[in-house]
A and B are shown apart, each in its own frame.
Chain A
Amino acid sequence: MSLDILTYLFIGGSFAIYIGIAIWARAGSTKEFYVAGGGVPPIANGMATAADWMSAASFISLAGIVSFIGRDGSAYLMGWTGGYVLLAMLLAPYLRKFGKFTVPDFVGDRYYSSTARTIAVVCTILISFTYVAGQMRGVGIVFSRYLHVDINTGVIIGMAIVFFYAVLGGMKGITYTQVAQYCVLILAFMVPAIFLSMQVTGHMLPQTGMGATLENGKSVLTTLNELSVELGFNKYTDGSKTTIDLFFMTAALMCGTAGLPHVIVRFFTVPRVKDARLSAGWALIFIAILYTTVPAVAGFGRVNLIQTLNGKDNAGVEYTQMPSWFKNWENAGLIGWTDLNGDGKVQYAAGNAFAGGKPAFGEGTGVNGERVTTNPANGEFNAAKQPFASEVYVDRDIMVLANPEIAQLPDWVIALVAAGAVAAALSTAAGLLLVISTSISHDLMKKTLKPDITDKQELMYARMAAVVAICVAGYFGINPPGFVAQVVALAFGLAASSVFPVIIMGIFSKRMNTQGAVSGMLVGIASTMAYIVYFKFMGGTKDQLFMGISPEGFGTVGMILNFVVAYVVSSMTPPPPAEIQHIVEDIRIPRGAGAAHAH
């Protein structure tokens, strides 16, 4: 069977499963729509949380990022897993005991303030939209590459599928499709990883394979370090970020993870407080399977990539000898080659092959049959450090998708990876869309604008909001704002500097009042937004960075500011009313969560 037919089969088959589950798990009430009726078993919730959490970024991009930046990638690996420790100990059990539907619900009730609720709604919607645009784009990339459809058609197909189960089933439909999607995505990630590990090291487990000794008598990492240095890169196991920057980045990603509304809301779906802790444990098991494999895939992938592009002698290979995946990705615009020294060979080394980094493609083909590019670099390089100037651009995002092809794995593995990438993107998109629609129908309509609507009307608003949200997300998928990567920093920064601290203080401090929470949130958001916008969009330069902290890490500073301002302001204003203090005492005790009220 050809690769195309296999890919259609795998993606089509997985879609049939998702739709079947959606029909089976239709939601009849707002409680089912918002929190799946509150009756999801912890292990299923753990799996759904893992699928919800592991987005196109985790599946497609993370291994690529680690592969290209080596040790600096640790910030993502630790940040995106360590946040679950915070969730399990500091947030999930208490929010479950509180027993409402959304994060703004908690903020609004705990701080007895519609201002606080509105700020939380705005943050939730902002965070979720920035995040969802990237997911739709991921679906589009996979479709266009593997099914040879236009990237826009791919986005529309993805929208239709999510529409079906998110609008019909709400949280209930999403939860059980996410369980299925987790199985697809983890299989799709692990199978090629195990193949790769066997091929490169003879180890079944990629986690131990990465420490194995290769046939040249050196370990994988030593080989990688030597190859990297030879080509003018930093050692793979050395970072280029400063310690303080890495520290703040990791902290921002961790606290951001714990503050992401679509992750938090998953813990509202289990029956009891102890189930909330338990599902955090299950979730991290399911996540760790992928996250501990990522560094291995990154390492093996990098060795394979360098050896394929530069040949065993590390001197370059003729363009005409390049395998078919090279040309496929070149056609997709994610690989570009320009023959700077005119020897007809592809040569990969440190430095940019194209002015500004990415290739701009012109019409037609060059002498060797390559796509013509219009912005080749000047070809200068430091001859003391590397043997030649780099002539290739390889997009980080293709590492996972191209890995099976680079390693010449069978066609069904490649088809499986395509289905896995789609599953990862769709599951996260659905979770985010649900949060957006809930924020609008529940927090905005029911709690703020029209408190007298019935359950049925609220459900209708929720479905309508989901439709609108899907269309907006699809629009951004088709017309990406060109800064998807940058806005992800914004999503985590916002979550870390606003949602996370305000919830923590709401649980662990009885003294925290409206004035403190609102001023803390505003300072946290304003400082983080200003910093990220200045450095990402207004051309702030490196030497202007505050203590050398990159925009991705500034959420930590915003968070600290939030805590400090909230503490100072609250200690100068009156304490919260007695009934609020009772609520806080009540959420600290597990008993009674089962009887939690819906409204």
Chain B
Amino acid sequence: MSSNSENAQAYWKENLRIIMTYMVIWFVVSYGCGILFVDQLDQIQFFGFPLGFWFAQQGSIYVFLGLIWAYVFSMNKLDEKYDVHE
């Protein structure tokens, strides 16, 4: 029982670490590139878009997609590693 709950705690810790990593990227891309530093990035041209504008209206959405799918794969691996999958 106790090894079982230690296992569960280690699993949860690693899950939190993965979530934190992805949330940092999530924040930097949407709130950072799309809102806070948008004017600085707009000085750079990117395929006909000012870069900040592109992040705000296109890039952030692609990154969100990448993040969710990366999370899906990381967690499937983690579930198997700790043998908590169904």
Contact = CB atoms under 8 A, between A and B. Distances in A.
Where chain B touches its partner, the secondary structure class is helix
Interface in B1-52: 5, 8, 11-12, 15, 19, 22-23, 26, 30-31, 34-36, 38, 42, 46-50
A588 B84 CA distance: 10
B34 to A, nearest CB: 6
B85 A274 contact: yes
B82 to A, nearest CB: 9
Interface in A445-471: none
Nearest to B82: A589
B49 A221 contact: yes
Interface stretch (A106-114, A115-123, A243-251): A243-251
Give the interface residue-count category, chain B: 35 or more
Contacts of A247: 31, 35-36
Given A77-B57, A82-B30, A247-B36, A277 B71 contact: yes
A250 B32 CA distance: 12
Nearest to A272: B86
A175 interface: no
A82 B65 contact: no
Interface size class of A (residues with CB under 8 A): 35 or more
A272 B76 CA distance: 12
B45 to A, nearest CB: 9
Contacts of A246: 35
Contact of A207 (B53, B58, B68): B58
Given A74-B34, A250-B30, A288 B62 contact: yes
A585 B56 contact: no
A56 interface: no
For the residues of A in contact with B, the DSSP-based class is helix
Contact of A590 (B22, B56, B60, B86): B86
Nearest to B53: A237
Contacts of A291: 61
A443 B79 CA distance: 33
Interface centre among B8, B53, B54, B68 (most CB of A within 10 A): B68
B61 A288 contact: yes
Interface in A257-281: 272-274, 277-278, 280-281
Nearest to A593: B86
A71 B54 CA distance: 10
Interface in A67-90: 71, 73-74, 77-78, 81-82, 84-85, 88-90
Interface of A: 66, 71, 73-74, 77-78, 81-82, 84-85, 88-90, 93, 207-208, 210-213, 219-221, 237, 239, 243, 246-247, 250-251, 272-274, 277-278, 280-281, 284-285, 288, 291-292, 295, 585, 588-594
8 contacts: A88-B68, A207-B58, A211-B47, A211-B48, A221-B48, A247-B36, A590-B84, A593-B86
Interface of B: 5, 8, 11-12, 15, 19, 22-23, 26, 30-31, 34-36, 38, 42, 46-50, 53-54, 56-58, 60-62, 64-65, 67-69, 71-72, 75-76, 79, 84-86
Given A250-B35, A274-B75, A292-B62, 20 more contacts: A71-B38, A71-B56, A71-B57, A74-B35, A78-B61, A81-B60, A85-B22, A88-B71, A88-B72, A211-B49, A211-B54, A212-B48, A274-B86, A277-B72, A281-B68, A288-B61, A291-B61, A590-B79, A591-B85, A594-B86
**Chain A to chain B: the 4 pairs with minimum beta-carbon distance, closest first:** A211-B48, A74-B56, A219-B48, A295-B57
